[in-house]
Chain A
Amino acid sequence: MAAPALSDRPSPLRRLVAAEGDRRPRARIAALALTALLLVISVLSLGVGASGTSLPAALWQALNGEEIALRDRLILFDIRLPRLAIGMLVGAALAVSGAVMQGLFRNPLADPGLVGVGAGAGLGAILAIVLGGLLPLALRDGLGYALVPVAAFAGGWVTTLLLYCIATREGRTSVAVMLLAGIALAALAGAISGVLVYMADDSQLRDLTFWGLGSLAGATWGKVLVAGPLIGLALAATPFLAHALNALALGEAPAAHLGIPVQRMKRLAVLSVAAATGAAVAVSGGIGFIGIVVPHLLRLVIGPDHRLLLPNAALLGASLLLVADMISRTIIAPAELPIGIVTAVIGGPFFLWILLRNRAGLEL
């Protein structure tokens, strides 16, 4: 799982640079194709849903100066449009965070869960669902139904910061310590969650189950306004991260010799992943597989250069999540399947297929 030893293989950076020669055009085509794909899927996503409301019909009416029915306006602008925005944001956040984590830990199996965001956010949500009733009434009323998302986000951040403090000594962050401490903190968060689950009553357990399976059904403009800047911030950090992650593929010391501010870059990577994933988990609950599947799929097509990988991961992650959401809200309409089930059902077998086809190439 570690990077290949430098002695018996060509230097990864050299291989990377060599590969770049043939892969750049391919990556450019991929970026164009993915952008087009995202556009097509977005339009489709606005047009598909449990109701027969159709975007073209509504636009046609609007162009002809006819009034669009209240219900149709609501479905298009207050249900499907924020849902589209949240879907794009969450998909991009999960895929990019997955790619960053895999680069940072130099481990193809890494995901944002490794820095504790997942376990911490889950614990925050469970705390809010089970013990939310104990909060002072004023605070509960003030937060309203934002209580669970806010608690999830806070839980993710607290765990990440804790982990970062544990792994940092004298200004140096040890990726290995972070990985191990992450496993320990996730186990601890899991244990506390277990206690809370034991305390939960029947209806709270049902809420927990649905939260854990993830859903974009509660998408609102308010959530877009909150999650958008956080995820945008993380995406904006990718150009800097990409260069540093490429150098880090050589190892920390060589990267430092190449002039990469390794410590700063590690901090930026962890914080941006915590911001993006924390916001994503808070607004959509637990959605798996996007963070693992998307970067792998892209590496097979455009290679491991993070400068190409990260932006393309955002595009593909957004597209995949929108497709999963379309399936989740149409397959048993008018009811809805939690989206986490859809991503797992598609992602699991798909990931196995990638693995089986590329066992040799993955150098695991």
Chain B
Amino acid sequence: MVLAVALAGPTMAQDAGRRVVSLGGAVTEIIYALGEQDRLVARDSTSTFPAEATGLPDVGYVRALSSEGVLSVAPDMILAEESSGPQETLDVLEAAQVPLVVVPDGYDGPAIRRKIEIVAEALGVPEKGEALAAEVEATLAEAVEGARPDQPVRVLFVLSMQGGRIMAAGRGSSAEAIISLAGGVNALEGFNGYSQVSDEAVLEAAPEVILMMERGGDHGGDSADVLAHPVLGQTPAAESGAVLRLPGLLLLGFGPRTPEAVTALSSALKAARP
């Protein structure tokens, strides 16, 4: 700690942003969408799009970063989504005088604009950011307009069904946000964020569509699993075979691809409606 005080000098890098570490899938997508990917030297494990990003060194899971891991790629700027951590790691990075730009989370159009603006500003390309933000905003408005259904579809978002227990999206979750942009309503309410839900609550919710992430590991399982599930299998969605899968980062990232996610989800919802 004595050392930290001794080190704190006014030596802030003037030309920061030539070696950037990106933490968070949406942040990485924005950097690519701005065409500034050449400045990236590393990313976190949630940054899986575009595919080229996965070729960069992986500094680990965004909520469990190690300070030396991040410092080892000699960054001169860190662009991090809000939930990055732990705090101890961020403190050390701050002591290392690496500029840390926090990109706030958010699940709507204005939030996406803010993310793009903050990233573009940090990288010193505000005009590019303005252009991208305007483009995303316009296509998002168009996609949302096109998604508007006659009657909203009741959608249950299942994050995982490990061991048969359903983890689903509730109020204020990123999944609920994308569902409503795409012209659906969240079939579940009564709790915030993502949580394990009881079998009864799922039956009570009577979803017309079951939405899941398309990715491996414990979030996987295929549609057959859903149909075979003792409770999910009894829902209207299962009876009509309306089980949808979309890539998790596309669906929940709330980055520049959100208009694409809205269009994909809304057309799937329309098609799935019995």
Contact = CB atoms under 8 A, between A and B. Distances in A.
Interface string B2-20: 0110010001000000000
Contacts of A200: 195
Given A78-B3, A334-B73, A201 B193 contact: yes
Interface string A322-343: 0000000100111110100000
A29 B37 CA distance: 57
Interface residues of A, number: 39
Interface in B60-100: 60-61, 63-74, 83, 86-89, 91-92, 95-97
Contacts of B195: 198-201
Given A334-B57, A334-B70, A145 B87 contact: yes
B175 to A, nearest CB: 10
A280 B95 CA distance: 26
Nearest to A216: B66
Contact of B68 (A75, A145, A221): A75
B71 A51 contact: yes
B55 to A, nearest CB: 14
Given A198-B196, A206-B63, A333 B97 contact: no
A333 B92 CA distance: 18
Contacts of B196: 197-199
Contact of A218 (B1, B83, B89): B89
Contact of A79 (B74, B83, B92, B193): B92
A145 B88 contact: yes
Interface string A210-224: 100001011111100
Interface in A317-364: 329, 332-336, 338
A316 to B, nearest CB: 26
B47 to A, nearest CB: 12
Contacts of B240: none
Interface string B40-69: 001001000000000001111101111111
B92 A335 contact: no
A7 interface: no
A71 interface: yes
Given A73-B7, A221-B1, A334 B60 contact: yes
Given A50-B68, A52-B72, A329-B66, A78 B194 contact: no
Contacts of B71: 50-51, 71, 74-75, 79
Most buried by B among A50, A71, A75, A144: A50
Contacts of A338: 64
Contacts of B86: 145, 217-218
B267 interface: no
A217 B72 contact: no
A207 B11 CA distance: 35
A80 interface: yes
Most buried by B among A74, A203, A220, A221: A74
B159 interface: yes
Interface string A75-92: 101111000000000000
Contact of A215 (B64, B74, B95): B64
Contacts of B61: 206, 210, 335
Contacts of A217: 64-67, 86, 88-89
Given A202-B159, A202-B194, A203-B83, A70 B7 contact: yes
A336 B60 contact: yes
Contacts, number: 114
B193 A77 contact: no
B170 to A, nearest CB: 8
Contacts of B193: 201-203
A49 interface: yes
A77 B86 CA distance: 19
Interface string B126-169: 00000000000000000000000000000000010000000100
Nearest to B196: A198
Given A70-B11, A71-B71, A80-B68, A334 B92 contact: no
A333 B83 contact: no
A74 B57 contact: no
A329 B3 contact: no
A216 to B, nearest CB: 9
Nearest to A148: B86
Nearest to A144: B87
B1 A49 contact: no
A70 B96 CA distance: 7
A210 B65 CA distance: 11
Contacts of A206: 61, 63-64
B215 to A, nearest CB: 14
Contacts of A50: 66, 68-69, 71-72
20 contacts: A50-B68, A50-B71, A51-B71, A52-B72, A71-B74, A73-B3, A74-B7, A75-B71, A197-B196, A206-B63, A206-B64, A215-B66, A217-B89, A329-B66, A329-B69, A332-B58, A334-B60, A335-B60, A336-B60, A336-B64
Interface of B: 1, 3-4, 7, 11, 42, 45, 57-61, 63-74, 83, 86-89, 91-92, 95-97, 159, 167, 192-196
Given A218-B88, A333-B72, 12 more contacts: A51-B72, A78-B92, A201-B194, A206-B61, A206-B63, A220-B91, A221-B1, A329-B69, A332-B58, A335-B60, A336-B64, A336-B69
